[in-house]
């Protein structure tokens, strides 16, 4: 009998409602204390592998299974879900699907209560897990009012409290601000060093490489294409498949011609027009005693491509929800095309401003992707022939044209996110607002759809909330830095992003691409993507 905490032998799986296999003939083992990074394109089978290890396949996800998964020598097929959950802890891509408790402390204690532990031990373990993740201050907060990143940390705390022997992390950094991501990674490395076996699925490969994973597994089309030391990863992946450090990408690209993707510039006459959106001394709080936004004053004008950066819980999403009328200011006012959002319905605003939610599960409901994308244009009374064309174009932009007939909620988290983006693209709103558009996305897909979006005719302005500093470097012509519910900086990326002290105070961590661009700025005169920096190395 083997002593591996995790052993996967010749594992294959095909979902009942799909034609091809999601994973095929997967075999590997993971040792006690090993940190194994799993990388690959969105939809390549990473999440399916996680579901097979934690027992959700075939219990919750039906289909054809081949091969087996052993936990400490025992086949998961012979264990109940309750038994598996005590050995394997899982943190999902979308924390909305994992959080059940109304209060943070209740959520973290939930699994322990199901294990039937004594009350004193439950409280001690829950408090310890919150302390490890440095979120003790959230203890008595309502989970509904947490930011996406805060929910991610709470979900992880609930799993850690159960003290599993194998930890599965499915995109644990997707909703975290850069500083929180680094803290989480350091904590993950520490847990592995303490003897926990960890399988981490992550698109932010460059960040994970900083904590020296023991091995890297690279998957493509449901199969393992590489399994070995991190140093060998750059030799087997093609450009844009996995995001590698900027200098490595630039060196591989060599002296390629400089490529920049430009959003149509605003004309002089546009500058004389009223702003598209205006915030006038806006304050807001979900609870009367706790103010989230403090005196926000800013304008969004035609030609703006705005990146909103800042820590989890800073008020970024709250700020944006005011622009689309989902929230109304406690004091001050927000106007869209000169009209106060208090006097406009959300449906009226939607014809001007399209919003992609942070969590796709908050948006998706239709039985097929085609119907999901057609829903908005139909409600906006677009002509039927135009709707068909708009849906097709949107699917092309997000690289999902083969998923038209699939149920949106059966897709991977990354694919669901792209469906939610496509649904807004199909509406042809004048202002596009995206909350964490790269969450759950592989490098290839997010670069491709962002390239397409910023060149699409019809948008007057684009705003995206992101924890990906490189998105701001490559695509934004304006960066707004939000922290503690207030605007800390607002200006050209070259000006805002050069102040590393202020960035770190706002929990924004400079990336290798930002550092290389600032170093080469005297030669280039502009921020460039990594592939275009090879000519000035």
Of 232, 237, 204, nearest in space to 219 by CA: 237
**In whole angstroms, what is the distance from residue 216 CA to residue 199 CA?**
10
Q: What is the DSSP string of 345-360?
A: -HHHHHTTEEEE-SSG
**Centroid of chain to Cα 386:** 31
- Collapse the DSSP code of 29 into the 3-class scheme (helix H, G, I; strand E, B; otherwise coil) and give the result: strand
Is there a single domain that holds both residue 164 and residue 43? Answer: yes
- Domain-terminating residue out of 244, 261, 276: 244
b vs e for 451-478, b when ≥16 Cβ sit within 10 Å of the residue's Cβ? ebbbebeebbbbbbbbbbbbbbbbbbbb
Of 481, 485, 489, 480, nearest in space to 507 by CA: 481
Q: How many alpha carbons lie under 13 Å from residue 445 in its C-beta half-sphere?
A: 25
Residue 439 within any structural domain of the chain: no
- Collapse the DSSP code of 487 into the 3-class scheme (helix H, G, I; strand E, B; otherwise coil) and give the result: strand
**φ/ψ (deg, to 5) at 513:** -70, -40
Is there a single domain that holds both residue 217 and residue 68? Answer: yes
Residue 237 in tokens: 């992946």
Res 93: pLDDT: 73
The helix (H) or strand (E) run that includes residue 420 is helix 413-425
Residue 226 within any structural domain of the chain: yes
Residue 522 within any structural domain of the chain: no
Is there a single domain that holds both residue 222 and residue 358? Answer: no
Strand 63-71, strand 74-75: pairing: antiparallel
Is there a single domain that holds both residue 89 and residue 213? Answer: yes
Is there a single domain that holds both residue 238 and residue 386? Answer: no
- Domain-terminating residue out of 183, 217, 244: 244
Domain range for 41:
6-244
Residue 337 within any structural domain of the chain: no
Q: How many alpha carbons lie under 13 Å from residue 8 in its C-beta half-sphere?
A: 22
Residue 528 within any structural domain of the chain: no
**φ/ψ (deg, to 5) at 168:** -105, 120
**In whole angstroms, what is the distance from residue 45 CA to residue 189 CA?**
24
245 Cβ partners below 8 Å, 6+ apart?
A: 206, 209, 512
Res 2: pLDDT: 61
Is there a single domain that holds both residue 229 and residue 91? Answer: yes
Is there a single domain that holds both residue 238 and residue 357? Answer: no
Residue 350 in tokens: 């939607």
Alpha helices in 161-265 (DSSP H): 178-193, 205-209, 246-253
- Domain-terminating residue out of 244, 262, 289: 244
Is there a single domain that holds both residue 77 and residue 212? Answer: yes
**In whole angstroms, what is the distance from residue 181 CA to residue 170 CA?**
14
- pLDDT in 10s for each residue of the chain, 537 residues: 467 999 999 999 999 878 889 999 999 999 999 999 999 987 889 989 999 999 999 999 999 999 999 999 999 999 998 899 889 999 887 777 788 888 999 999 998 998 889 999 999 999 999 998 889 999 999 998 887 778 888 998 999 999 899 999 988 887 788 888 888 898 899 889 989 999 999 988 888 999 999 999 999 999 999 999 998 888 888 767 788 889 888 888 877 777 777 787 777 777 778 899 999 999 999 876 688 999 999 999 999 999 999 998 889 999 999 998 899 999 999 999 999 999 988 888 988 999 998 888 888 999 999 999 999 999 889 999 999 999 999 999 999 998 999 999 888 788 898 999 999 999 999 999 999 998 878 888 888 889 989 988 889 999 999 999 999 999 999 999 999 999 999 999 999 999 999 999 999 999 999 999 999 999 999 999 998 998 888
Q: CA dist 24 to 14, 37, 67, 74, 189, Å?
A: 9, 19, 9, 21, 29
**φ/ψ (deg, to 5) at 236:** -115, -15
Res 100: pLDDT: 86
Of 358, 379, 368, nearest in space to 176 by CA: 358
Is there a single domain that holds both residue 371 and residue 236? Answer: no
Q: What is the DSSP string of 244-310?
A: --HHHHHHHH-SPPP----PPPPPHHHHHSPPSEEEEEEEE-SBTTB--EEEEEEEE-TT-EEEEE-
The residue assigned the tokens 């009226």 is 348
Residue length of the chain: 537
Of 166, 280, 270, 216, nearest in space to 39 by CA: 216
Residue 405 within any structural domain of the chain: yes
322, 337 Cβ separation under 8 angstroms: no
Encode 444-468 in three state secondary structure: HHHHHHHHHHHHCCCCCEEEEECCC
Residue 492 within any structural domain of the chain: no
Q: What is the DSSP string of 366-391?
A: SSSHHHHHHHHHHHTT--HHHHHHHH
Of 302, 101, 56, 60, nearest in space to 69 by CA: 56
Dihedral, 460, 463, 468, 471 alpha carbons, nearest 10: 10
Domain count of the fold of the chain: 2
The residue assigned the tokens 């440095």 is 134
Residue 111 within any structural domain of the chain: yes
């Amino acid at each position: 009998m083997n002593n591996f905490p995790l052993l996967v032998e010749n594992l294959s799986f095909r979902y009942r409602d799909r034609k091809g296999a999601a994973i095929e003939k997967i075999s590997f083992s993971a040792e006690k204390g090993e940190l194994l990074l799993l990388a690959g394109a969105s939809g390549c089978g990473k999440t399916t592998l996680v579901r097979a290890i934690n027992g959700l396949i075939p219990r919750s996800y039906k289909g054809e299974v081949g091969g087996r998964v052993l936990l400490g020598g025992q086949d998961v097929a012979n264990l109940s879900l309750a038994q598996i959950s005590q050995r394997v802890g899982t943190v999902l891509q979308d924390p909305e699907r994992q959080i059940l408790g109304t209060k943070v402390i209740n959520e973290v204690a939930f699994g322990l209560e199901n294990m039937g532990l004594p009350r004193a031990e439950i409280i001690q373990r829950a408090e310890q897990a919150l302390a490890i993740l440095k979120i003790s201050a959230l203890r008595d907060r309502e989970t509904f009012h947490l930011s996406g990143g805060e929910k991610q940390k709470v979900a992880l705390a609930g799993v850690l409290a159960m003290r599993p022997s194998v930890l599965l992390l499915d995109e644990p950094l997707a909703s975290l601000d850069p500083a929180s991501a680094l803290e989480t990674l350091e904590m993950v490395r520490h847990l592995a060093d303490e003897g926990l076996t960890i399988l981490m699925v992550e698109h932010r490969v460059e960040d994970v490489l900083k904590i020296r994973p023991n091995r890297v597994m690279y998957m493509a089309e449901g199969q393992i294409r590489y399994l070995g030391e991190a140093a060998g990863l750059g030799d087997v992946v093609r450009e844009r498949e996995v995001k590698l450090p900027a200098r490595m990408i630039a060196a591989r690209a060599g002296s390629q011609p400089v490529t920049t993707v430009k959003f149509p510039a605003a004309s002089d006459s546009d500058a004389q027009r009223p702003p598209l959106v205006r915030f006038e001394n806006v304050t807001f709080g979900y609870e009367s005693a706790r103010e989230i936004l403090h005196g926000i004053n800013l304008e969004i004008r035609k030609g703006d491509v705005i990146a909103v950066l800042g820590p989890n819980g800073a008020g970024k999403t709250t700020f944006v929800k005011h622009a689309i009328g989902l929230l109304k200011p406690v004091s001050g006012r927000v106007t869209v095309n000169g009209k106060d959002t208090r006097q406009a319905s959300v449906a009226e605003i939607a014809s001007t401003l399209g919003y992609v939610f942070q969590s796709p599960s908050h948006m998706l409901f239709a039985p097929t992707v085609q119907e999901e994308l057609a829903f908005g244009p139909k409600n906006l009374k677009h002509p039927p022939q135009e709707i068909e064309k708009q849906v097709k174009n949107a699917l092309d932009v997000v690289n999902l044209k083969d998923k038209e007939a699939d149920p949106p909620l059966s897709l991977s988290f990354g694919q669901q996110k792209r469906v939610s983006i496509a649904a807004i693209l199909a509406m042809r709103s004048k202002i596009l607002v995206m909350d964490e558009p790269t969450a759950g996305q592989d490098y290839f897909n997010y670069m491709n759809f962002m390239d397409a979006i910023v060149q699409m005719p019809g948008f007057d302005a684009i705003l995206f909330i992101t924890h990906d500093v490189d998105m701001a470097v490559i695509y934004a012509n304006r960066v707004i830095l939000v922290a503690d519910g207030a605007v800390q900086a607002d200006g050209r990326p070259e000006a805002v992003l050069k102040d590393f002290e202020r960035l770190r105070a706002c929990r924004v961590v400079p990336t290798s691409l930002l550092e290389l661009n600032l170093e080469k700025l005297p030669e280039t005169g502009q921020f460039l993507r990594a592939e275009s920096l090879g000519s000035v190395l």
